[in-house]
Amino acid sequence: MEKEIVWTKVSKADFWNIVTYLKENWPSEVLDKFYKRLQLKIKLLQSHPNIGVKSSSHSKFRKTLISKHYSIIYSVAKKHIVIHRLKHAAQKK
């Protein structure tokens, strides 16, 4: 059974910040590729929620790559997956 995806306010802001950055700095193909990869990864998470690597500092969080530059930080609950952050590889926090 696929789990529902829940986005936090912060992860929604992360998403729109990434979209804005890609629109302003890269050809439209790059944004399209990012969006398609994000959709595929979310679909995969719904079916296989434990594919991400557990955080060494916070065991409730997992991380999985969207691309070599972006990752999803998420947690798994009984009926849903919470996306907490979308992060660029260079981001510390």
Over residues 47-84, the pLDDT tens digits come to 999 999 998 777 899 999 999 999 999 999 989 999 99
CA angle centred on 85, ends 1 and 80, rounded to 5°? 20
pTM, entire model: 0.90
d(CA 80, CA 49): 9
pLDDT given at position 41: 96
Tell me the three state secondary structure of residue 46.
helix
Over residues 19-39, the pLDDT tens digits come to 999 999 999 999 999 999 999
Delineate the domains of the chain, giving CATH numbers in brackets: 4-88 (3.30.2310.20)
Residue 91 — very low, low, confident or very high, per pLDDT cuts 50/70/90?
low
Q: Answer whether residue 93 shows pLDDT above 60.
A: no
pLDDT given at position 56: 76
Residue 64 structure tokens: 């999985």
